[in-house]
Structure 1
Amino acid sequence: MGAESLSEAQTGDHARPRTSAGVSFAASLAFEDVSHRFGSTEILSGISLAAKPGEILCLLGPSGSGKTTMLRIAAGIERQMAGRLLLNGREIAGPNVFVTPEKRGVGLMFQDFALFPHMNILDNVRFGLNALSVTAAKREAMAALERVGLDHAARNYPHMLSGGEQQRVALARALSPRPSVLLMDEPFSGLDSRLKDVVRTDTLQILRESRATAIIVTHDAEEAMRLGDRIALIKDGRLVQIGTAAELYGRPASLFAAGFFSELNVLDGEVRSGRVVTPIGPVADSPSSDGTCVTVALRLTGLRLDETDRGVEGRIVARRFLGGVELFTVAVEGLDQPLRSRMRAGLVSENRRDVVVSIDPRDVIVFEKTPEDR
């Protein structure tokens, strides 16, 4: 997307006053021990979680983890093999029950926006309002477009709009029937990186105003932290951890969870006299018994390079300027793999090669090794 589109999104559309979003009757949506497979491939395995009324819940995980399948099951496009789906405590999908998509009160916004190219924007938005009269449907559609700041473009066609504008049209269409739950599948993945912040902020505001429960699929941890009241981390069709952004970042349940929210150096360690000892020295206290083998995850921001004598000696083998920060690769004796450090630019002099490596204990996370890890 070009600079004109960005400027338009930041000034032209955003300078227009918007009406508040129409309020929906928010509902809870719960997955109870939901499993699903395609042929012999297991997609979901015993997923249990619930989005609370009015909550924005982000489903986060790598590609192929089952996130989109969960949305399709919630929308009624797929029928799970096992388990139940409850809307406000009422079963809408289970072994003996299946409520069709149009009767669920659940809205679905696709990743590619799925706008009809032969329809103008107004007709795209009123497409899902067939239960209303033509006059009432147009009135509701115009109100929805006004809420997203695009009422002036009602007669335009999708190809005449920028990517950010098309995203807002898709959001208006999804919200116009006032769904109790709105499902959004990677809604910002097709946007220019410079535009994402603007559109995400707008979308969050509109969701808050509409008060609908929202479940948003993303593979971007930062996006999940920006948008979600809570985050459900999914891996290989299983729920790894659910909680607030602060809980998942500060107290990850596994090395996988820690690595999804931070770039990490991973070291082997052992507990000795109540301390976790690694090749670069002691890094944390531990209540475990002596001899316990552990895995140490060290965030890149917690690896310090300086010229003091507190720490272990290292040598910079590569450095990359990234604007406000620099990314360093540092060789340390006793380690097969170099360590990486992310520090504010300018803290390490340009020509320096030999440094002292020290650790910020706030950026150290310790996991006991299971028998399979050893």
Structure 2
Amino acid sequence: MNSIAVDSTEARRTAGVTFAASLSFQDIRHGYHGKETIRGVSLTAKAGEVLCLLGPSGSGKTTLLRIAAGIEVQSSGRLLMNEREVAGSSGFVPPEKRGIGLMFQDFALFPHMNVLDNVRFGLTALPPKEATAEAMIALERVGLAHYAEKYPHALSGGEQQRVALARALAPRPGVLLMDEPFSGLDSRLKDTIRADTLAILRETRATAVVVTHDAEEAMRMADRIALLRDGRLVQVGTSDDLYRRPTDLFTAAFFSEINEFSSIVRDGQVETPLGKTRVSGIGEGCPVSVAIRLSGVVVREEGGEIPARILSRRFLGVVELLELAVPGTERPVRSRIRADVLAPGCKEVTVTVNSQDIFVFVKRAETS
């Protein structure tokens, strides 16, 4: 059943087929039952770009995707494709006329149709022979032409995902929208399927907007990531931007596990139980939140700056997850270290923090 990646590279046709379009959200607002769920989002997916909409459940990712597809209509704002308004004050272009492909979370394959007919389903504008030829090209591209006569129930989850991708690409859309496309796959297959999908997107040169709640998945796939929270755009940039230069505590915590401390700027620095850190651009006496990545908390048996005691130790294969008692805080400090660095049974240790894993943010009142 899980033969999806063995020879897919050799079997795939590798030709670019789409005329990629840009997709722009301009001050999009939307709500349900009087509650605003999208709050003034402005964002552009550039032509040929893979843009990931990232965020927790309820952040507005799928709603934005549905607005782009034409399934939902925004309360206000404009949606443009290649600078042409497709939803806004000047009118509404129906979904089937937008040149947008949509790939659902559950693949949404028709169980009573074989693979070829599933892929051919969206090609009704073409004569039957041309539709069949285009569907076969799409199946070749995902390495499943030899499964054309099979039915979805006979395929593995990964193979069904690739059929859904072929169906979405067959009409040669200018923009492909993908809603959590890998969430239903076995975790062992996800990496391979994701890599195959990304390779196909690159080959077809399609603009892709991918919804995910998984930061690592977004980093693996995206040219740029748009992080959302409560219907607002928090930060947009490359994975490097969001990981290394988070603009707030939410972003820092979304991209890595952190220890969080409260402090106040004194003499140009902040102090936590893990030491002092110099800050710039934050005023004297300003309350701040200090985020320290677990991977930045270096634990040694001796030679570190701060004494600590191991409270718990979890072996996770390549790494170990530690909980430490540190002077100055009643809450355990967590650390993620390489396995086997510490001797078995070791309890008394020392801690040092890597400066690049410390982030300081001004505390701001939560807005509704």
TM category (shorter chain) comes to over 0.9
- The CA deviation string for residues 160-209 of structure 1, in whole angstroms up to 9 with x for no partner, is 00000000000000000000000000000000001001100110010001
Give the direction of change, closer, same or farther, for the CA distance of 1:256–1:70 in structure 2 (3 Å limit).
Answer: same
For residues 278 and 335 of structure 2, the distance between their equivalents in structure 1, rounded to whole angstroms, comes to: 19
Q: Once the two structures are aligned, what percentage of the paired residues are identical?
A: 61
- Provide the residue aligned with 2:256 in structure 1: 262
- Once the two structures are TM-superposed, the CA of residue 371 in structure 1 deviates from its matched residue by 5.6
**1:302 and 2:317 are equivalent in the alignment:** no
The answer as to whether partners of 2:311 and 2:324 remain within 8 angstroms in 1 is yes
Structure 2 length as normaliser, TM-score? 0.97
Q: Which amino acid aligns with 2:338?
A: R
- Once the two structures are TM-superposed, the CA of residue 276 in structure 1 deviates from its matched residue by 1.9
The answer as to whether partners of 1:274 and 1:287 remain within 8 angstroms in 2 is no
Report 1:50-199 matches (<5 A).
50-199=44-193
For residues 101 and 19 of structure 2, the distance between their equivalents in structure 1, rounded to whole angstroms, comes to: 13
- The CA deviation string for residues 275-308 of structure 1, in whole angstroms up to 9 with x for no partner, is 2211232134435343332211000000011133
- Provide the residue aligned with 2:203 in structure 1: 209
Structure 1 runs not aligned, ≥5 long: none
Q: What SS does the corresponding residue of 1:9 show, helix, strand or coil?
A: coil
**1:356 and 2:350 are equivalent in the alignment:** yes
User: What is the RMSD of the two structures over their aligned residues, measured on CA atoms?
Assistant: 1.4
Q: What SS does the corresponding residue of 2:72 show, helix, strand or coil?
A: coil
2:329 to 335, 338, 357: 335
Range 171-180 or range 355-364, more displaced: 355-364
**1:9 and 2:17 are equivalent in the alignment:** no
- Once the two structures are TM-superposed, the CA of residue 313 in structure 1 deviates from its matched residue by 1.5
2:219 to 210, 218, 225: 225
For residues 54 and 37 of structure 1, the distance between their equivalents in structure 2, rounded to whole angstroms, comes to: 30
The answer as to whether partners of 2:279 and 2:360 remain within 8 angstroms in 1 is no
The answer as to whether partners of 2:307 and 2:348 remain within 8 angstroms in 1 is yes
- The CA deviation string for residues 54-105 of structure 1, in whole angstroms up to 9 with x for no partner, is 0000000001111111111101111111000001001000023100011100
For residues 282 and 228 of structure 1, the distance between their equivalents in structure 2, rounded to whole angstroms, comes to: 35
Report 1:38-57 matches (<5 A).
38-57=32-51
- Once the two structures are TM-superposed, the CA of residue 17 in structure 1 deviates from its matched residue by 2.6
- The CA deviation string for residues 129-154 of structure 1, in whole angstroms up to 9 with x for no partner, is 00001111001001110110000000
1:248 to 221, 242, 265: 242
For residues 345 and 270 of structure 1, the distance between their equivalents in structure 2, rounded to whole angstroms, comes to: 35
Give the direction of change, closer, same or farther, for the CA distance of 1:372–1:157 in structure 2 (3 Å limit).
Answer: closer
Q: What SS does the corresponding residue of 2:322 show, helix, strand or coil?
A: strand
For residues 284 and 298 of structure 1, the distance between their equivalents in structure 2, rounded to whole angstroms, comes to: 14
What number of residue pairs does the alignment pair up? Answer: 367
Give the direction of change, closer, same or farther, for the CA distance of 1:95–1:372 in structure 2 (3 Å limit).
Answer: closer
Range 27-36 or range 264-273, more displaced: 264-273
The answer as to whether partners of 1:276 and 1:286 remain within 8 angstroms in 2 is no
- Once the two structures are TM-superposed, the CA of residue 240 in structure 1 deviates from its matched residue by 0.4
Range 230-239 or range 94-103, more displaced: 94-103
- Provide the residue aligned with 1:26 in structure 2: 20
Q: Which amino acid aligns with 2:327?
A: E
Structure 2 runs not aligned, ≥5 long: none
Structure 1 length as normaliser, TM-score? 0.95
- Once the two structures are TM-superposed, the CA of residue 21 in structure 1 deviates from its matched residue by 3.9
- Once the two structures are TM-superposed, the CA of residue 15 in structure 1 deviates from its matched residue by 6.0
Give the direction of change, closer, same or farther, for the CA distance of 1:271–1:173 in structure 2 (3 Å limit).
Answer: same
Q: Which amino acid aligns with 1:9?
A: I
- Once the two structures are TM-superposed, the CA of residue 355 in structure 1 deviates from its matched residue by 1.1
For residues 163 and 362 of structure 1, the distance between their equivalents in structure 2, rounded to whole angstroms, comes to: 40
- The CA deviation string for residues 191-250 of structure 1, in whole angstroms up to 9 with x for no partner, is 000100110011001000111110000000000000000000011111001000000001
For residues 309 and 208 of structure 1, the distance between their equivalents in structure 2, rounded to whole angstroms, comes to: 48
Q: Which amino acid aligns with 1:361?
A: S
Q: What SS does the corresponding residue of 1:128 show, helix, strand or coil?
A: coil
